[in-house]
Chain A
């Protein structure tokens, strides 16, 4: 009986997931093809023929490649220093350096805009590209650290000692070629793939920092509102179809490569050693010191700018300290969404997303785990299916919900406050699966067997054994879900069609106006709130991270 219930729960989870993820995307695809006609060649040609999408692919690829190279160039030396040497307040330093990844992209974008202002680079049309690349490096730096540092810090010292005593390891180059290279390459390439994916689908940073340049992602977001309407701007539908297919293919290949490398990395990774004795490296501050400053600078700039009002008086710029921006942001007016309302919306969406994504993701992870024993092939199919949304960017998900739901019922869509949750669940569920699944796999079968012979019922075993063992991963998955939902910008920007749905990131973007001193400061105040919430969630969650969790999310 219990077994049947378990099977029913697993099957329902897979069905619910497919309905949530696949149906909106399928409906959107169907709608776009219905409007534009099924002519694949035309979809790709339209990308080149329309001014809105010309050069977008080249720009997307160029900035993603350069961002990846820059991120690795900055990240690897930092990971090396953190992994190989002992640092005072090591966990604090690591938290600071890995924090940017959990920062909402809109906060990062605002932070870098502020830095450009402070460094007087705002009006300089030559520097925005460099700033964009550096901002991507800032955002993705923690990926390199999180992927590489755990390998370096727990590497059995005997492995390095042994290579030095063998002819192949006599020279530094030999040791790099035969030891460090092969040991580190999977982690570095996996981090590079993720960085490439995130830079390729960058939206907030591109939208705010560039002078109107577009990635495929931001281009689709900007024209998405006019898609899916019969007889109206047919080319828009074609561009979105062409752009989506290219983006989906690139992301799929990158993620496949990353998944393959992640498996390879896990099997090649030497067992963690408890014997690692680290030494201090005073010269390492030359790397770690500026890295800490680099990680904190945009965040400090957000706080500072939320308290600075800049006005022009008789052609002279005057700047002064003030709480006017905070007052404006959280003022209740009839015409403007207040910060409180945006905060309430963000928190509500985040907790509803959590209530759906966490149990759904857990059930999916459990389904995969159960199937791995009985039907490995089916397990692999479900596993890949849960990863598919990683290959669909947030704007594509937003468009899926928007265009997909317009087809079902436009009026209902415009009035349905719940709508953004659909997009947030689609985005966060795969992360929950990725966090819970390795934890489920790591539970020794003996624990459950021991519970059985002790006479514990399945429910008792769930509450007394499984949940306590998984608690760290559950808390991380939950905080990750809340943080991602609260900071989500791309899909929300596309989906939000009603001011009553305004979330904190949407508010930051909508009131941001470089020519209005108060609203610009107010957008920084809202960004500061979002940033502080993210920092609190991140710091809290990190306490529960299992040691040597493989260094992924």
Chain B
């Protein structure tokens, strides 16, 4: 499915070196590590927002290392939800898929009737659910999650972890979660790797 071979990246210091990962279809992997260990950069390299120093990335046996981010078919959910304030909730979802069942997508993330809501009226957790619905509507080959549960309170975070895991498993969507929270990593993923 997704193969990362000898990925190496450094800025002022070495972030990760010779990193390897095989992600099976439908598998969810969590990568943990302390702040500054390069978790976010690793995700950004996989989706193409950062260039690797060396190494290769294969998606379904196709080498995507030098492809532009928009051509890779990899989705990313940022730490804080990135939603476009000039669009409503449904407008944001349409960026993921022009002709999707938006009401159903919102139902699935626990936000029924949120279609016409303005972005600035959403709470942090609601925003993250909309970002997730949008990412899933885009049907990515792999979904990357960059600490999406860290900016919300514990109770909501626990619920969101369960909901998101179920959604990904229902769709058999492979995913990589990076987090510094080992408990979330164990609850969410099939396999946990330390960076």
Q: Identify the A interface with B (CB < 8 A).
A: 156, 158-159, 161-171, 178-179, 182-183, 267-270
Residue B154 interfacial (CB < 8 Å): no
Contacts of B76 in A (CB 8 A): 161-162, 165
Contacts of A159 in B (CB 8 A): 82, 84
Contact B94 A162 (CB under 8 A): no
Contact A168 B94 (CB under 8 A): yes
Contacts of A161 in B (CB 8 A): 49, 69, 76, 82
Contact B78 A182 (CB under 8 A): no
- Name which of B19-27, B30-38, B95-103 contacts chain A: B95-103
Contact B134 A164 (CB under 8 A): no
Task: Encode B62-80 as 1/0 by CB contact (under 8 A) with A.
Answer: 0000001111001110100
Contact B87 A182 (CB under 8 A): yes
Contact B74 A164 (CB under 8 A): no
Contacts of B71 in A (CB 8 A): 170
Contacts of B138 in A (CB 8 A): 165-167
Q: Shortest distance in angstroms between A264's beta carbon and chain B's nearest beta carbon?
A: 9
Contact A182 B96 (CB under 8 A): no
A–B pairs, 28, beta carbons within 8 Å = A161-B49, A161-B69, A161-B76, A161-B82, A162-B78, A163-B84, A163-B95, A164-B49, A165-B49, A165-B69, A165-B70, A165-B76, A165-B138, A166-B138, A167-B95, A167-B97, A167-B98, A168-B94, A168-B95, A168-B96, A170-B71, A179-B84, A182-B86, A182-B87, A183-B84, A267-B120, A268-B85, A269-B85
Task: Encode B81-116 as 1/0 by CB contact (under 8 A) with A.
Answer: 010111100000011111000000000000000000
Contact B69 A178 (CB under 8 A): no
Contacts of B49 in A (CB 8 A): 161, 164-165
Cα-based distance from A182 to B88 in the complex (angstroms): 12
Residue B133 interfacial (CB < 8 Å): no
Contact A166 B86 (CB under 8 A): no
Contacts of B94 in A (CB 8 A): 168
Cα-based distance from A395 to B62 in the complex (angstroms): 69
Contact A268 B69 (CB under 8 A): no
Cα-based distance from A179 to B70 in the complex (angstroms): 14
Given contacts A158-B78, A161-B49, A162-B78, contact A168 B86 (CB under 8 A): no
Q: Shortest distance in angstroms between B146's beta carbon and chain A's nearest beta carbon?
A: 10
Q: Shortest distance in angstroms between A169's beta carbon and chain B's nearest beta carbon?
A: 6
Contacts of A183 in B (CB 8 A): 84, 86
Interface residues of B in 103-150 (CB under 8 A from A): 120, 134, 138
On chain B, the number of residues with a Cβ less than 8 Å from chain A's Cβ atoms is 23
Residue B177 interfacial (CB < 8 Å): no
Q: Identify the B interface with A (CB < 8 A).
A: 47, 49, 68-71, 74-76, 78, 82, 84-87, 94-98, 120, 134, 138
Given contacts A166-B138, A167-B138, contact A270 B85 (CB under 8 A): yes
Q: Which listed residue, A156, A167, A269, touches B96 by the CB 8 Å rule?
A: A167
Q: Which listed residue, A162, A167, A168, touches B82 by the CB 8 Å rule?
A: A162
Cα-based distance from A171 to B95 in the complex (angstroms): 13
Contact B69 A166 (CB under 8 A): no
Q: Which listed residue, A156, A164, A179, A270, touches B69 by the CB 8 Å rule?
A: A164
Cα-based distance from A166 to B83 in the complex (angstroms): 12
Contact A158 B85 (CB under 8 A): no
Contacts of A166 in B (CB 8 A): 75, 95-96, 134, 138
Q: Shortest distance in angstroms between B181's beta carbon and chain A's nearest beta carbon?
A: 21
Closest A residue, CB atoms, query B47: A165
Q: Shortest distance in angstroms between B77's beta carbon and chain A's nearest beta carbon?
A: 9
Q: Which of A163, A165, A168, A269 has the most CB of B within 10 A?
A: A165
Contacts of A169 in B (CB 8 A): 70, 95
Q: Which listed residue, B75, B84, B85, touches A165 by the CB 8 Å rule?
A: B75
Contacts of B75 in A (CB 8 A): 165-166
Instruction: Sort A-B residue pairs by CB-CB distance and give the 5 closest, nearest first.
Output: A168-B95, A162-B82, A268-B86, A164-B70, A182-B86
Contact A158 B82 (CB under 8 A): yes
Q: Which of A158, A167, A270 has the most CB of B within 10 A?
A: A167
Q: Shortest distance in angstroms between A289's beta carbon and chain B's nearest beta carbon?
A: 30
Cα-based distance from A163 to B84 in the complex (angstroms): 9
Cα-based distance from A390 to B98 in the complex (angstroms): 43
Cα-based distance from A79 to B78 in the complex (angstroms): 28
Cα-based distance from A187 to B105 in the complex (angstroms): 33
Contacts of B78 in A (CB 8 A): 158, 162
Cα-based distance from A183 to B75 in the complex (angstroms): 22
Given contacts A156-B82, A268-B86, contact A170 B95 (CB under 8 A): no
Cα-based distance from A182 to B84 in the complex (angstroms): 10
Contacts of B134 in A (CB 8 A): 166
Q: Shortest distance in angstroms between A182's beta carbon and chain B's nearest beta carbon?
A: 4
Cα-based distance from A123 to B97 in the complex (angstroms): 61
Cα-based distance from A166 to B74 in the complex (angstroms): 9
